[in-house]
Every structure is written in C-alpha cells, then in structure tokens.
Amino acid sequence: MRFVDEFRDADKALALSAKISELCEPGRHYKFMEVCGGHTHTIYKHGLEDYLPDSVQLVHGPGCPVCVIPMGRVDDAIAIAEEPDVIMTSFGDMMRVPGGRGSFFDSNAAGADIRMVYSPLDALKIAQANPAKRVVFMAIGFETTAPSTAMTVLRAEAMGLENFSLFCNHVTIIPAIKAILDSPDLRLDGFVGPGHVSTVIGCRPYEFIARDHGKPLVCAGFEPLDILQSVYMLMLQLHEGRSEVENQYSRVVPWDGNPKALEVIARTMQLRPYFEWRGLGFISHSALQMRPEYARFDAERIFDVPGVRVADPKACQCGEVLKGVLKPWECKVFGTACTPETPIGTCMVSSEGACAAYYNFGRFSRERVKSATRTVDIELSPAPS
Amino acid sequence: MRGDTAESPTAPAAEQSRANWAEDAVAEHAGAEHLTREELVLERIERARRRKARVKEPRITMSHGAGGKASRTLTEAIFLDAFSNPVLEELEDAASLTVGGAQLAFSTDSFVVSPLFFPGGNIGDLAINGTVNDLAMTGARPLFLSAGFILEEGFPVEDLRRIVASMAAAAAAAGVTVVTGDTKVVQRGKGDGCYINTAGVGVLEREVSLRASGVRPGDAVLVSGPIGEHGVTILLARGELDIEADLDSDTAPLNELAAVLLDAVPGVRMMRDATRGGVATILNEIAVAAQVSVVVDESAVPMLPVVTGACELLGIDPLYVACEGRFVTVVDSEQAEAALAALRGHPLGAGAAIIGRIKDDPPGLVLLKTSFGGTRIVDLLVGDPLPRIC
Amino acid sequence: MCLGIPGEVIEILTDRPDLAKVDVCGVKRNINIGLLEGEELNAGDWVLIHVGFAMSKIDEREAASALEFLEGIGQAYAEELAALADSEAHRG
C-alpha cells in the first residue's frame, strides 16, 4: 500500500531508534504526550514502544473522541433512538460504548433500530430510502470529522430532506490540550501533535504551546515511522534548546489547514458555551452544536433529550490517566472491575483509549514477551510459485 | 435545551445519577489490594480472566454471535453448564464418539448469513462446506449430512431452488450425501428469508487424536491459505458500504486438503477451520487449551492486497475476519516444511504459509511480532465488527 | 476514529463533480471531494480519505522528501553498523 508500507519499514525504525538514543542525556527522563487516539492505537498495534529507549516515555492524552463522551450523552442518544419511527445511525466504535443503562448494542437487543455506518453520507442514503422514518446521525469526532458532518448537513439541505437530523457531539482539540497544560500535577517535555485534526485546523493553533508554555510540538502522521520520526524531532528540539511547532506529517497536513473545511463548519455549527468531557469535567467553548439556522437538522431541538448526567464510579481514575499522571495499570480498577467488556471509564471504552490499547495489545511483561518473540525463528515461507 | 444557557462551566445541571452496572462491577472487586508493580497487576488480570464464566447481560446481543469473548462466555456459562459432559467440554469443532467399535465424528452448524447470495457462493455452499469442514478437522472422513430449513413466508421458491442446487453440487464435490432434513415456515417478518442448519456424521479411520490441547512448545503454526476473504466479501456484498472490489468468498470443502496433510505428515497436532472471529480466535483457543503461547510473525500471514485494502479502509483487523475455506494447523516443527509442501501441492492450499511457532511462555497468550518489528498481543475479540457473517 | 487512509483517484464522476472514485489497494469507493474545492484534482492524484470524504491532497513532493530523510537515516545507520562490524573485525 503506497504511502503506508514505506512508513512501516523496520530497518528505518532501527535507525531512528538509534538516533533517538544518541540524543538522550544520561540520567534524564523524557515524557512526551501523544494526543490523538489514532496515535495511541498505532503505537500499541505495531509495538512501537519496543523501539524507544527506557528513558523516553510516551503518555497518552485525551484525543479519543469516543472516549470523552459522557455516559449521560449515550443515554440521550438511546432515548432518541427509542422514539417511535427513529433509525439512529452511528460509527462502529460507538456501538459498544455503555451509557448508564447499556450500549447501542444492548438497545438493539431491546428493540431499537441503531445501525452502523461508515460515513455520515450513508445515513443520508438511509433517510432517503426510509421517508416514513426519522433518521438521526450520532455525530462524534474532533475537527477531523466535523467538516464531514457539516458537508452532510449541507447536502441534506440541498436535497430538501425532511427526515434527517444529527445529534452533535463534536469536540475541539485545543481546549483539551489547554486543560492538560493547566494541570498542576503534570510534567511533559513536549507533544506528539494531532495528525488528521491538523489537516483541518493547520499547525498555527498549536503555536501558543511552544511559545507560551515552552513545550515543542510536532504534528505527526499515523504510521509507526511517522511517530518515531516525530519523537526524534522532539528530542532534537530539546537537544538544540528550541521550542517550536513542526510538521512531520507535511505530506498530508497543510500549515494553514483546509479553509473550505473550516468554512463549512462555521456555516453550520457554533461553539457551545461549555461541554462535559468524560474524565476531564466541564470545559468551556470546547464543543460544537448546530447553528439556529440549521435547527431542523438538530436532533437536540427535534427530540426531547433527558439530559441527565451519569457520574463515573468514584473508583474511576480516568482523569489522571488522561492527563498522563497515571499509567493504565496503575489505576486501582484496571483489569478487574474495568475491562474492555465492562469499561468503567473513558480510557477503556474505545480501542483507542489508553487503557483499552494497553489491555488489548500491550498487556504483557515486556521482558518475557521479548524473549519469546526474539528467539522465534520463522523462516518466511518462500512465495508460492 | 441543553448547552444553550450562559451558565459557567463549574455550575452544571443539578440532576445526576449513577450507572448501576458500573457500580456493581466495582463492588464485585472491592477490597482488592492496590498493586504497585506492573507484573502483579498483569497476574491479577490473568486470574480474573480465569474465573468461572457468567453471562451478565439480561438479553442476547449481537456480540454473543460474533465468535469472540461473549460467544465463549455464553457457551460456557449457559450451554456447558446445563449439558455438562466430557465430550462437549472438549469444545472441539466436532464431537468424537465411540459407537459399537467405530470412531465417529459428529458436528452441527447453523447459517444465518446476510445477504444469502454473494460473490463466490451462497448460504447453501456455506451450509454444506461448514459442516464438512468441522468433521474434517478431527481427521474424520465426512459421510452424511442433515439439512434443516427455516423459511420465511414470502421467500421466493426460485431462490430456494438456487440454494438447494448449490448444496447438491457442494455435497457432490465434498463426497458427502444429504440423507435427512426438515423444513419449517415462519410468518413474514419472523425470519430473514432462509436460515439453514446442517449436522454431519463422519468416520475416523486414522489413528489420530487431533486436539488443541495436544500442541507443544516448538511446534510450527500454519495457515492453509490467505485470510479474511469471506468476511470482507460479505461486508462488501451488503452494499451498505458502497465499495467495489474484485473479491470472492473462500468457501470450500477442506476434507481433501486435510486428508492430504494427514497422509503426508504424521506429526499433525490439530487442525481447526477459521470461521467467525477469524484466525485470531483459533490461535487464542489453542493458547488457552494447551496453556502455551502462540507467537505469530505478522509479515508471514498471507493476505490478498484487496483484503488488506478493505480492512485498512474500514479499520478492521484482518486477523479477526471470517474465512470459510481456510484452516489453521499446528505440526511438529521437524515436519513443518513437509506439511507446507503437502498443503501447497493441493489447489486449495496453494497459498499456505508457516505463520508462527508455539512457545511455552507466557502461557495462554497470542503474541504478534509486527511487521514493523515491535510486539503486541492478539486478544480475544470483544464486540462484533462484522455481524451475520456466516 | 482518526482513521485516514491514502487512496488513489481513479476518475472524477462527470455527473457528480463532488464525487471521485478512489482506489485503496484494489478496493474502490466513491469519495466526496467537496472539501478539496478549489484544488485541482486529477486521476492519479492521491488523497487522504476519512469517513467517505477526501480531507487533503497528498503532496507527493513532501512524501518523497519525508522518505528521503528516512532513507538517509537508514543509510547512515547501515554505514555505521558496517563500520562497527569492520572495526570489531580488525580488533579481533
């Protein structure tokens, strides 16, 4: 696969790993936060940590848009789905997220009609095909996905669709990063910056992090070499005493972002005064809602949503894991009460959450596993003739 | 309307409730010591995972049919618990029975695939090949099948004719006979067109005892061909994803291929066909049954580029995607090359490959050496990425 | 969720200019290219696809230079390893 395989090359990884080690000052420990859920997923899926020296640690931030949706909002979505003649549509990774009473899967079992879609445009197709039904799309995601939702609303408007609306749960990345930076118990040396969010917002919005907080930030791609190279670039900045925003993912991310994408978001959506982020609490101006002119596509205006907050159990320590203060296995309920099947909090809820990624992919004693896999001598079968 | 007022972020709505299922889960493990070393936490997780299976949900969900964790829990907590007997407890693909001196294999499988017709076959092909394969995996020669139909009122007879014609052809190709059957009809809306159950009986004429628990450290793990073709074909055939690809289901009878392998190589420990839950599910079953670790080399796992592309596009892991004409086998390492050659000598095994090794530690885990050179584990599937796949 | 995949543009649909048929490893799907309005898009170009929309046109020059950097590092590393092996050999 082009633009993918080249960035998964093991030999280049060894080279980068050596260069990163060279830049490590003896006795110093480095902590970088990677914000995107997609980065967390890549790191664990490819076993990237095997290439980092012990003194360099990657800490997982709150960039998983599925994870930060509070249980009460899931309950709201289910309440909409349970209204008569409603077809709810959602991305696959939302289907398993439990609200106060259960997940979308559980709701289907109890008689609701909640369908998995790959794109919000698929929800439009369902609306067209089912004129007697009210089709609602559960819109989630950071600025990466908001433009797609916005384009879908504009298309629905152009088509004159009367039975389509969306339940808007889009969140914005900068307030989340600010919440991390303002956290007193945190010590970070820099950020592996968002990749796909940056294709929309560009790299400028992160400048305050480097300038005012003195933390370098490198916008990173999602292949393992992208992340490894970004860590190298961060180490180089620290070594050279610089604090800047750099763009490692320049093949995809334009420095100024995507003006059309920003324009369609602005046309259809506006910032909410505040929004609750699971694990982080209420953050002001951190989420989007439909503009009044688009009220007829706003499920929150069309349907009565209960709006009840459901608190995470007191034992949940996601807030600290999200800020990188605790490692997943350091949480008291990790692996016992809190597992991917019974996710107590946000970090376990989606496969991109730090705890879920660690549980699903990284849950092993590194030394034992390294010895098991290194001495495996699998002669790659010669290609079939 | 929420989110519309000018309240400060620190003074939200007063109403608050708790999630009972989450509070219960915490209470269940209350009093557990807070461990400070990663090793101890991992050990505690392993102990928690070994606890007696219990179905917590009050209702069946799609996860229970996915072939992953929930399916396993359902089987253990409900079916094994009620029917308990040593043959069932083996949970092999087919039951091994001794009747009047003959060694028999007996198996059953139900088919609820949607859509009924797809590139490479239809529900009828799956129904015959599925049960033939379950029997063949024990080393038995599949002989006789039953075919039970549950038809929905309004289902076109012409479609039924097509399905049954496919079944006749598949049976002939596999060398089995459908000797008994049944038909029921349910009202319109109560059954999705056509559901089929097949059960099968075969005879074990070889001196083999193939079981997952017989696997030993040092053994080689092979797969009979490229993975994920059936699952991706079905997903694309549903038409909801608007994706075109040149791909067919891999549904096929594996009895001949299995026989070829067993004839060539005496050191075969086990064979299992990878259906729902994919190759990853089989590997986990082996790791747990034999208490070994299964180490796989990601770059050795064969896959068609179009399967790779579709899985990347949709964010699905191909290791969990269903096949319907592929099996995983573990053989004595000394005979790995011979096994590979035997498989590749048969048209259905042309794409066979050695994908990994059995090690003794850490037991019960499937490890993946990624093509990037890192390591990760391949856990049991949670949830259901591809519903109604077979 | 951040899932973005590179795909090659096969054709721009004439009846729906906001759609392009894109190929990912042999898998083809119609993708909405409305977010790339104003940019020239032709068959053979590569785009980043996310939930059915093209988010960005892949800059082949940047990709090439990224790879060059990685090749360079890989090369330097290989040379270092070779030099190390050499010096070990001479010492022994």
Q: pLDDT tens digits, residue range B27-50?
A: 888 776 667 677 777 777 777 777
How far CA B4 is from CA of A75, A80, A173, B55, in Å, comes to 19, 19, 21, 41
Question: Each residue of A334-348: pLDDT tens digit?
Answer: 988 898 888 888 888
Residue B1 pLDDT level (bands cut at 50, 70, 90): very low
Q: What is the CA radius of gyration of chain A?
A: 22
Residues of A in Cβ contact (< 8 Å) with B13: 307-309
Q: How far is the alpha carbon of B251 from chain A, nearest alpha carbon, in Å?
A: 21
The DSSP code sequence of A313-325 is PTT--HHHHHTTS
CB contact residues (below 8 A), chain B span 86-145, against chain A: none
Name the minimum distance, in Å, from the CA of A162 to any CA of chain C. Answer: 22
Contacts of B310 in chain C (CB under 8 A): 24-25, 27
What is residue A371's predicted lDDT score, i.e. its pLDDT? 74
C2, C13, C30, best to mutate vs chain A, most A CBs in 10 Å? C2
C27 touching B, CB under 8 A? yes
The residues near A149 (Cβ < 8 Å, ≥ 6 apart) are A120, A137, A139, A141, A166, A168, A170, A268
Closest-CA distance of chain C to residue B309, Å: 5
Using CB atoms, pick whichever of B243, B244, B312 lies closest to residue C5. Answer: B312
pLDDT tops 50 at residue A209: yes
Query: pLDDT > 70: what percent of chain C?
Result: 93
Neighbours, chain C (3 or more CB pairs < 8 A): A, B
Contacts of C90 (CB under 8 A, 6+ apart): none
Contact (CB<8Å) A46/B385:
no
Pick the residue from chain A with its C-alpha nearest to B59. Answer: A109
Partner-chain residue, chosen from B41, B69, B315, that has the shortest CB–CB distance to A335: B41
For chain B, how big is the Rg over CA atoms in Å? 23
Return mean pLDDT, chain A. Answer: 90
pLDDT for B258 equals 97
What pLDDT does residue A122 have?
A: 92
Peptide bond into B217 cis (omega under 30): no
Prediction ipTM score:
0.88
**SS percent in chain B: helix, strand, coil, step 5:** 35, 25, 40
CATH code linked to domain C5-86: 2.30.30.140
Q: State whether residue B361 sits within 8 Å of chain A by CB.
A: yes
Q: Which pLDDT tens digit goes with each residue over B213-231?
A: 999 999 999 999 999 999 9
Strands C19-24 and B220-223: unpaired
Percent of chain A with pLDDT over 90: 58
Q: Given a cut of 80, is residue B10 above it in pLDDT?
A: no
Q: Are the beta carbons of C27 and B244 separated by less than 8 Å?
A: yes
Residues 328-347 of A with CB under 8 A from B: 329-330, 332-342, 344
The CA–CA distances, whole Å, from C1 to A37, A72, B185 equal 7, 21, 43
Inter-residue contact B369 to B375 (CB < 8 Å): yes
All structural domains of chain C with their residue ranges: 5-86
Residue B24's pLDDT is 86
Q: Which of B107-111, B134-138, C75-79 has the lowest mean pLDDT?
A: C75-79
CB proximity B309 to A under 8 Å: yes
Read off the pLDDT of each residue in A248-269 and give the average, rounded to a whole number: 96
Write the DSSP string, A56-89.
EEEEEEEE-TTTTS-HHHHHHHHHHHTSTTEEEE
Å between B351 CA and nearest CA of chain C: 19
Q: What is the pLDDT of residue C91?
A: 62
**Could you identify the residue written with the tokens 């050179």?**
B373
B3, closest residue in chain A (CA to CA): A272
**pLDDT score of A356:** 87
Q: How many CB pairs under 8 A join A and B?
A: 245
pLDDT band at A258 (very low <50, low <70, confident <90, very high): very high
Residue among A96, A311, A361 minimizing CB distance to B376: A361
Q: Can you spell out the DSSP letters for B193-249?
A: SEEEEEEEEEE--SS----GGG--TT-EEEESS--SHHHHHHHHHT-SS-EE-----
What is the predicted pLDDT for the residue at A382?
A: 47
How many B×C Cβ pairs under 8 Å? 36
B13–chain A nearest CA distance, Å: 8
Residue of C nearest to A229 (CA): C70
Q: How confident is the model at residue B3 (pLDDT cuts 50, 70, 90)?
A: very low
Judging by DSSP bridges, how do beta strands B366-369 and B375-377 pair with one another? antiparallel
Q: Is 90 exceeded by the pLDDT of residue A93? A: no
Phi/psi region, residue B222 (left: phi>0; alpha: psi -120 to 50; beta: rest), is beta
Quote the pLDDT of residue A215: 95
Residue of chain B whose Cα is closest to the Cα of A309: B16
Query: Inter-chain contact A252–C48, Cβ cutoff 8 Å?
Result: yes
Instruction: Find how far residue A213's CA is from the centre of its chain.
Output: 23
Q: What is the DSSP letter of A55?
A: T
Distance of CA B62 to the CA centre of its chain: 15
pLDDT attached to residue A365: 65
Whether the CB-CB separation of A59 and A326 falls below 8 Å is answered with no
- Max avg pLDDT among A145-154, B4-13, B71-80: A145-154
The arithmetic mean of pLDDT across residues B130-140, rounded, is 96
Of A7-21, A203-217, A224-238, where does mean pLDDT reach its minimum? A7-21
Tell me the pLDDT tens digit for each residue of B73-125.
899 999 999 998 999 988 888 999 999 999 999 999 999 999 999 999 999 99
Nearest to C29 among B243, B305, B308 (CB): B243
Cα dihedral: B69, B71, B72, B74 (round 10) = 120
Which residues lie closer than 8 Å to B191 by C-beta, 6 or more apart?
Answer: B150, B151, B152
Sort out which chain B residues have CB atoms less than 8 A from A273's CB and list them.
3, 5-7, 9
CB B66 within 8 A of CB B383: yes
Tell me the chain A residues in contact with residue B10 when contact means C-beta distances shorter than 8 Å.
282
Residues of B in contact with C28 (CB under 8 A): 243-245
* More confident: A270 or A2: A270
For the entire predicted model, the pTM comes to 0.86
Q: Given a cut of 60, is residue B8 above it in pLDDT?
A: no
Which of A67 and A23 is assigned the larger pLDDT? A23
Measured CA distances, B165 to B148, B162, B172, B174, C84 (Å): 15, 5, 11, 14, 68
Closest residue to A335, CB basis, from B26, B44, B384: B44
Nearest Cα to Cα of residue A24 among A48, A2, A1, A57: A57
Q: Cis ω on the peptide bond leading into residue B115 (within 30° of 0)?
A: yes
Min Cα separation A328/chain B (Å): 10
